[in-house]
Amino acid sequence: MLSPLLLLSLVAVSLASPLGRGLGDFQVKHAWDAVPAGWEYHSPAPADHVLHMHFALKQGKFDELLRHLAEVSEPQHERYGQHLSKEEVDALVAPHPDTLSTVEGWLAAHGLDPENAIHRSSSGDSITLKVSVSQAEKLLDSKYNVYRAKDDSEYVVRTMGYSLPEALHDHINLVSPTTYFGGLQRMKTTSFVEPDAPTVESADESDFAIPPASCNTVITPECLRVLYNTAGYTPSAKRTSLGVVGYLEEYASNADLRTFLSRFRSDLAGTTFSTVRVNGGGNNQSDPGVEANLDIQYTVGLSGPIPNTYYSTGGRPPFVPDSTTPTNTNEPYLDWLNFILGQKTIPHVFTTSYGEPEQTIPKDYAITVCNRFAELGARGSSIFFSSGDFGVGGGDCLTNDGTNVRRFQPTFPAGCPFVTAVGGTVGTNPETTVGFTGGGFSNLFPRPKYQDAAVTGYLGAIGNSNAGLFNNTGRGYPDVAAQGRGFQVVVAGRVISVGGTSASSPTIAAIFALLNDYRISRGGGPLGFLNPLIYSTARTGFNDITTGNNPGCGTNGFAARAGWDPATGFGTPDFVKLQALV
């Protein structure tokens, strides 16, 4: 049954038009100039094909949320560390009543009942409804088609552009699925198997004074513990927690973790992790994933016995082009964020080893996702993302705005200012930039205040190098770095070598989980959103990487230098130094 408020809204809208055109003419929300690279038109979408359509509403007091986030994340502020509760965040992001009444009235005028939503966030800022293609086309003045990925058999139902009535642009931040073509297959860009790299079946776990020479080519937990100075610290199993976010039907294997620990961290034998299934995510223990095993083996191997949770996130139900009724969404960031923001208790640290070229992400989608990472930060969680594996850009590096200009191609979500992006290094004496590490400057997000001094210092030092190829006013990334080659990972009982900033991000996440444990043991709280800390009082707690670069787009990319740089950030962590700084 519709609420009285909704009925009143429906009457008001209906007086103007049965389809809500009294809200003004349609205006474009987002549109592509051409089918995004890697995709091709296949066929019209069946009219009765069902979409799980997500409406992200304008958040009533988001600017106030950002003020709170800045205060609780700034080490010099009197509120530092006083993070908000779920209820406090919900109150800040709840839509204004006018937004709710206007949007719900518009939906009802199109025969959609918000009271029967598949999902409604606890703050009310997002609504997910079952919407047929024919309804969506009328709702959004759009045309949906089936598109096929050129290099595999993945199909998605998307539109090249969508519009909203003029008055709704002030009330709706995002409607999806619409123009985000990423698809899960496009996300897995930050790890790769190294088939010709050396492997070891076990590691000497004796106390090293310095990393052994083997760590130059083969990385084990013991290499990282010595290199980053955590070997002398024993955490508790009760003070903090760590979450690994997984996609792409990647499953973390309990049996492989047991084998990994027996070979590389025998003192943690018996340590396990929990799995939480999100949006139909699976947990097929007979089909372990390289990415999932890499992440969980190194977060557990470095942070155990701190509790680790693997979030197996679905979002890729099979779509057959001639089917008529199955649902198909393929937008996993929002699926996971909707889930985790609805939880009363969440881990203090999250790591995610996925990303996509920023220019493939519609602006409305990217901003909505990025802002929700800010919500997690305000609640006291640190969010790490790998920076990517294509230097300053892969492929032809041409812009997709119709101009075909060669530009560096930053990565999303690494370029979001509310996450901590992790680049890659290689070698131990000394560490240097690994050539594939992603880094650069966002074209979507402006440079945040917390990194003004560091970034302007770097830009001043490089002068006109790469001029015109990047946005010198954008958010610079990565923020920090860690080893990125030769990680020994057990998959289906066999040790393989894996590289990528996918290895770097869980490494850093585990070290900050240890720092949270230490801080809480001293009566403090979790560190939460880290970047204001990293760019101020904690910058001296990292090993500065001053050699190497991240080539791409036909250039040498950005060179590492003293201080922050868009190849390795402030460098790799020294746990003991950071203990003294947090």
Each domain of the chain, given as residue ranges in start order, spans 4-59+94-181, 192-581
> What is the structure's pLDDT at 204?
62
Residues 84-98 have a mean pLDDT of: 98
Whole-Å CA distances, 570 to 231, 257, 431, 573:
22, 31, 13, 9
Q: What is the pTM assigned to this prediction?
A: 0.92
Residues 329-342 have a mean pLDDT of: 83
> What is the structure's pLDDT at 321?
55
Pairing of strands 274-278, 480-483: unpaired
In angstroms, rounded to a whole number, what is the distance separating the alpha carbons of residues 489 and 256?
A: 9
> Looking up tokens 């296949």, which residue turns up?
42
In angstroms, rounded to a whole number, what is the distance separating the alpha carbons of residues 444 and 428?
A: 35
The DSSP secondary-structure symbol of 449 reads: G
> What is the structure's pLDDT at 358?
92
Annotation: binding site:
544-545, 563, 565
Of 562, 568, 528, 506, residue with least CA distance to 244: 506
pLDDT of 205 > 60? The answer is no
Angle between helix 290-303 and helix 501-521 axes, rounded to 10 deg: 30
Helical H segments across 119-253, by residue range = 133-140, 221-227
pLDDT tens digits, residue range 223-262? Answer: 999 999 999 999 999 999 999 998 877 899 999 999 999 9
Angle between helix 86-93 and helix 62-73 axes, rounded to 10 deg: 140
> What is the structure's pLDDT at 209?
60
Which CATH entry fits the domain spanning 192-581: 3.30.460.80, 3.40.50.200, 3.40.50.2000, 3.40.50.970?
A: 3.40.50.200
- pLDDT-derived band at 193 (thresholds 50, 70, 90) equals confident
Find out whether 282 and 222 touch, Cβ atoms under 8 Å: no
Find out whether 483 and 224 touch, Cβ atoms under 8 Å: yes
Is 502 a catalytic site residue? Answer: yes
Dihedral sign, CA of 446, 451, 452, 455? negative
DSSP string, 254-304: HHHHHHHHHHH-GGGTT---EEEEETT----TTSB-HHHHHHHHHHHHHHT
Is 312 a catalytic site residue? Answer: no
> What is the structure's pLDDT at 18?
37
Q: Of the listed 295, 431, 479, 574, which one is catalytic?
A: 295
**CB neighbourhood size of 192 (10 A):** 17
Is 267 a catalytic site residue? Answer: no
Helix (H) or strand (E) holding 412: strand 411-412
Annotation: binding site for Ca(2+):
544-545, 563, 565
Lowest mean per-residue pLDDT among 154-158, 194-198, 446-450 = 194-198
